[in-house]
Amino acid sequence: MQICVISGSPKGEKSVTLQYVRFLEQAFPEHTFSVAHVGREIRTIEQQEEVWNGLLAAIKECDGVLWATPVYCLLVPAQLKRFIELVGDRNAMETFSGKYTAALTTSIHYFDHTAHAYLHGVCDDLGMRYVGFYSAHMQDLEKEASQEQLIQFFSDFLEAIAKQRPIRKEFPLLPAIPSHYIPMSPPVTVDTHGKRVVILHDAEPGSDLEAMVGELAACYADPIQVAHIQDSMMKGACLGCCRCAFDNTCIYDDGFRAFWEKYVIPADVLVIAGTVRDRFFSATWKQFFDRSFYNGHVPAFEGKQIAYLVEGSLGYLANLREVLTSLVMTEEANLAGIVTNEPGDPAEIDAALYALAERSVRLSDRGYIAPATFPAVGGHKIFRDEIWRGMRAVFKADDRYYRQHGLYDFPTRNYLQRISTRATSLIMSIPGIRREVVKNMPTYMVQPLQRSIEKSTVLAKRKAKE
Ligand SMILES: Cc1cc2nc3c(=O)[nH]c(=O)nc-3n(C[C@H](O)[C@H](O)[C@H](O)COP(=O)(O)O)c2cc1C
């Protein structure tokens, strides 16, 4: 069979992910692999018609398409995102339609599931027959057990093609937003209390997003900063070179860092405004997120109120919502709200924008940061372990930050807790005590909490104020 590999890594032949493809090539010599270096060649693919046509011809002729890509900032790299946009913009969906497909990624398993859900949704939209995915940790190929697993995954893919296995779509097509948003001026405005409010957007002139950005800006009584992310003058997308790892200095010498320092760092309230293109924000926004990787694995939005304005059917894009909300939480910021143009009714959108303006300042005044949920709690542990385990040899800036901020918070370092757990565990081996504890487990579980309520100085201060 002829397999067309769409490689998303900007590193081309030096891609970690591509080594998994090379392994498969050797494991299945009876099949032919052709690799399209979409991540590395995106500029040429976009600008040169013959290259674009050659790529489409390769896809048309093949029996199966394998997306092979690294996970970048909770999704695929901006370069691959741009390629997917081009397929839509240039009406090339027909070339992909009906093709059997599978996805192979490498990462450190930090939001690899959102990258896969995105690719799956895109494949469904293109009418492809999505067989499944393989998500490898970047070093898995060093283990023979993983090599066996990879062979099994790929065998299943080949069998699906050979037997023309029926495949169901999992992601329904996105509905269009019925009406155009025409805002009314807000009746009253929100005092910013000296907070710096910044809106970053990539709105097209005349779009609903542009109208939402203008309306939100008008909701604040004081002037706020509004900037188009194209003004960051990015010369290109992240190259994955990891030059930034040592001291947070990017290989590009362009306007991105100055833009970041001008708008993102000083913002108390940061509003990110984007239009849904396929199943994510635009490739330009993705490039912006990827380029922010120069900050390393440290919470770049720490303490800020973050809000989103979304033009598009976010209600049908649980995966995009997960990425947007997780980006806030993992960066130790607070989600002030998300407003979309989905309601259609302009009055409803106006009201939501006003409420967002008011809430963003109020929460910023109070310094409220909501507790993290599973993605950020789990995400922290992945970063902590990966950086400590080996990445810190190169990611020196991360290592410094993790040490200074107590982020190497391994439970193994809590010696008092360990001694007490060991002692409790020994006591629990006494049958009489164990029986007693099992019988009264709920009581023992709430006892420390009840003591905290009794001794709470926070409650005492509140009561004193009454
Ligand atoms: C800009 C950038 C963003 C990344 N984002 C993630 C991420 O969100 N989750 C993750 O698990 N790994 C992330 N990684 C790690 C890569 O996925 C991993 O190193 C991968 O194996 C690189 O593959 P490649 O050599 O094929 O490009 C990121 C790496 C870079 C350079």
Token pair for residue 226?
């509004």
Q: Is the CB of 71 under 6 A from ligand 1?
A: yes
CA of 56 from ligand 1 middle (Å) equals 27
Q: Do domains 2-162 and 197-366 have the same CATH topology?
A: yes
CA of 320 from ligand 1 middle (Å) equals 19
Q: Whose CA is nearest to atom 22 of ligand 1?
A: 70
Q: Is the CB of 79 under 6 A from ligand 1?
A: no
Residue written as token pair 């002030």? 336
What pLDDT is stored for residue 175 in this prediction? 93
Which residue type, as a one-letter code, is found at position 223? P
What pLDDT is stored for residue 185 in this prediction? 81
What pLDDT is stored for residue 178 in this prediction? 81
Q: Is the CB of 268 under 6 A from ligand 1?
A: no
Quote the CA–CA distance of 234 and 320 in Å, as a whole number: 24
Q: Is the CB of 73 under 6 A from ligand 1?
A: yes
Task: Give the contacts of 428 (CB within 8 A, at least 6 positions apart).
Answer: 434, 437
Token pair for residue 21?
């493809």
Domain ranges of the chain: 2-162, 197-366
Q: Is the CB of 395 under 6 A from ligand 1?
A: no
Q: Whose CA is nearest to atom 15 of ligand 1?
A: 107
Q: Whose CA is nearest to atom 31 of ligand 1?
A: 240
Homologous superfamily of the 197-366 domain (CATH): Flavodoxin domain (3.40.50.360)
CA of 14 from ligand 1 middle (Å) equals 13
What pLDDT is stored for residue 80 in this prediction? 98
Which atom number of ligand 1 is nearest to the Cα of residue 108? 11
Residue written as token pair 């995102």? 81
Task: Give the contacts of 27 (CB within 8 A, at least 6 positions apart).
Answer: 147, 150, 151, 154
Q: Whose CA is nearest to atom 19 of ligand 1?
A: 107
User: To test ligand 1's pocket by mutation, which of 107, 242, 256 has the most ligand atoms within 8 angstroms of CB?
Assistant: 107
* 45-53, Cβ contacts within 8 angstroms, sequence gap of 24 or more: 45/83, 45/86, 46/82, 46/86, 52/86, 52/90
* DSSP code, position 248: S
- Confidence (pTM): 0.96
**CATH number at 2-162:** 3.40.50.360
Quote the CA–CA distance of 307 and 305 in Å, as a whole number: 7
Which atom number of ligand 1 is nearest to the Cα of residue 73? 8
Instruction: Supply the Cα-derived Rg of the chain in whole angstroms.
Output: 25
Quote the CA–CA distance of 46 and 10 in Å, as a whole number: 15
Query: In the β-sheet with 100-107, what is the strand arrangement from edge to edge?
Result: 32-36, 2-7, 64-70, 100-107, 129-137
> 71 near 113, Cβ under 8 Å?
no
Residue-level pLDDT, tens digit, the chain, 466 residues: 999 999 999 999 999 999 999 999 999 999 999 999 999 999 999 999 999 999 999 999 999 999 999 999 999 999 999 999 999 999 999 999 999 999 999 999 999 999 999 999 999 999 999 999 999 999 999 999 999 999 999 999 999 999 999 999 999 999 998 889 999 988 889 999 999 999 999 999 999 999 999 999 999 999 999 999 999 999 999 999 999 998 899 999 999 999 999 999 999 999 999 999 999 999 999 999 999 999 999 999 999 999 999 999 999 999 999 999 999 999 999 999 999 999 889 999 999 999 999 999 999 999 999 999 999 999 999 999 999 999 999 999 999 999 999 999 999 989 999 999 999 999 999 999 999 999 999 999 999 999 999 999 999 999 999 8
Which residue type, as a one-letter code, is found at position 363? L
Token pair for residue 369?
């940061």
Q: Whose CA is nearest to atom 6 of ligand 1?
A: 72
CA of 302 from ligand 1 middle (Å) equals 22
Q: Whose CA is nearest to atom 8 of ligand 1?
A: 73
